[in-house]
Amino acid sequence: MKILLRLKYLGTAFCGWQYQPGVRTVQKTLTDAAEILFGEKCNITGCSRTDSGVHANDFAATVELSETANKIPRDRIPTAFAPHLPSDLAVTSATPVADDFHPRYDVAYKEYVYKIYASPVADPFLHGRVWHYTGRLSTDALERMNACAAVLVGKQDFASFMAAGSKIEDTVRTVKYCTVEREGTLLTIRIAADGFLYNMVRIIAGTLMSAACGKLDADGMAAIIAAKNRAAAGLTAPPDGLYLNKVVY
């Protein structure tokens, strides 16, 4: 039996999703809790591999259970997990899925949010939860960012937005939407795609901040895409501001 779990986590104290020996990861923490809860070792598969320090408002993972696993009604699973999980990780829902369901390969699209707090003075409540940007923004920052963001939409080769050294060969992805909103000093980038290359959202966030500073316009963004070269794009924004926000199947 396979169950799709939805998770929420504050990434600050996790070394990302993926199991790695000797460090605290979400996958390991969840696997340990599941073993206590279901009374057996469980195979847990995630929808993506978030990096160290990256957060999730909605992460999807499947847990595979044998016939002899402890039976827990599905609507009780989040509450049953709660006492076995640390305060920075929660299971928010549980749904049975078909045995051949795969949480990574069956994704229709994922939405990420990237938050930038643009102010010389930090907000103590946002430490580790935003990119605290202390530089000056151009007066038309939001318009410039949105003009550049719009260029990213569509089926394109995003090789320029993949971390140098990645082994992936097919770098074509389809971005459904990419928009920027501003609420005072908080800038929120929202981007959805059928898949993301390694560090893609963080490089896009870094590049959109070049636009925010008046150093990039829509033509420049088109040239970056056309270059198919990581060096053409902006810096990689820090993990702190990144949230996996929605996973749609």
Binding residues for a copy of itself, rule: CB under 8 A, are: 8-10, 55, 78-79, 81-82, 87-92, 120-125, 127-129, 134
Report whether 130 contacts 240 (CB < 8 A).
yes
Distance of CA 111 to the CA centre of its chain: 8
Q: Which is nearer to a copy of itself, 21 or 125 (CB)?
A: 125
Residues in the chain: 249
Q: What are phi and psi of 39, to 5 degrees?
A: 75, 20
Side-chain half-sphere CA neighbours of 109 within 13 A = 13
Q: Which of 51, 106, 157, 194 is catalytic?
A: 51
Least distance CB 187 / a copy of itself (angstroms): 19
Least separation in angstroms between residue 175's CB and a copy of itself is 26
Between 69 and 80, CB nearer to a copy of itself: 80
Query: Do 172 and 157 contact (CB within 8 A), yes or no?
Result: yes
Q: Which residues have CB under 8 Å from 196's CB, separation 6+?
A: 48, 110, 112, 173
Burial of 57 (0-12, 13-18, 19+ CB in 10 A): middle
- Comparing CB distances to a copy of itself, the nearer of 11 and 195 is 11
Query: Of the two residues 89 and 247, which places its CB atom closer to a copy of itself in the complex?
Result: 89
Does 51 participate in catalysis according to the annotation? yes
Least distance (Å) between residue 120 CB and a copy of itself: 4
Rounded least distance, CB 219 to a copy of itself, Å: 34
Give the residue numbers annotated as catalytic, written as ranges.
51
